[in-house]
Amino acid sequence: MSRTNNSLDELIEALRCLPGVGPKSAQRMAYHLLQYDQAGAHRLALALDRALQRIRRCAKCNTFTEEEVCALCTSPKRDPSLLCVVETPADQAVMEQTLAYQGLYFVLMGRLSPLDGIGPKEIGLDALQRRVSDGIVKEVILATNFTNEGEATAHYIHEMLQGRGLKITRIARGVPVGGELEYVDLGTLAQAFYERREA
């Protein structure tokens, strides 16, 4: 670890933990906070401290929450027989915006990434296995990304959950709604062709 000799260096060094923030932007942020926005800096420090103390993982869906179990998981309006597996809270949020889905979620907080050494332990597949064994979940919907890593994740979750009497589905991919073939990107169109279904 680099030894910092004063609290300004310490602050700049600390800001660099943010994604995409290099030494220059960290310095700019630190000067800005100290010179022009001490109130904002104070608020940030308090909010960070509070979040760190209060926020934990939902015991059922693994997302961030202040409760033992999050509001969505306890909502009586949701269908507990459906469980949708997503990579991140952002993916869950966008699924919610579609209003197409009324079931519950499991958030992996990542994806399998063999080249980075991220395997089943790192994304908590054992917790998912326990979650679907509650006797209530009937269908698991795999909504991981359509990247190689997301596909690998979906494939191995499928393998892991097979033979338990659960219905396992994968969200469909293909030509976007309103998409005209002429303007669809070629990779998407080719994959839609490979995965064509009976009309």
Interacting residues toward other proteins by CB under 8 A: 19-20, 22, 112, 114-121, 125, 146-148, 151-152, 155-156, 159-160, 185-188, 190-191, 194
What whole-number distance in Å separates Cα of residue 163 and Cα of residue 38? 58
Q: Smallest distance, Å, CB 87 to other proteins?
A: 14
The answer to whether 161 contacts Zn ion (rule: CB under 5 A) is no
* CA angle at 103 for the pair 99 and 108, rounded to the nearest 5°: 100
What whole-number distance in Å separates Cα of residue 185 and Cα of residue 150? 20
The answer to whether 131 contacts Zn ion (rule: CB under 5 A) is no
Binding-site size for Zn ion (CB under 5 A) equals 5
For residue 60, the partner it binds in other proteins, Zn ion, none, with Cβ less than 5 to 8 A by kind, is Zn ion
Token duo for residue 196: 């064509």
Whichever of 7 and 148 has its CB closer to other proteins, that residue is 148
**Stretch of residues binding Zn ion (CB under 5 A), selected from 52-60, 109-117, 127-135, 146-154:** 52-60
Q: Note whether 84 and 102 are within 8 A (CB).
A: no
**Stretch of residues binding Zn ion (CB under 5 A), selected from 5-13, 69-77, 119-127, 188-196:** 69-77
What whole-number distance in Å separates Cα of residue 108 and Cα of residue 85? 7
Nearest to 144 by CA among 102, 182, 113: 113
| Out of 26, 58, 83, 85, the residue judged to bind Zn ion by CB under 5 A | 58
What whole-number distance in Å separates Cα of residue 34 and Cα of residue 27? 11
* Residues β-bridged to residue 104: 83
Whichever of 70 and 161 has its CB closer to Zn ion, that residue is 70
Site residues for Zn ion per CB under 5 A: 58, 60-61, 70, 73
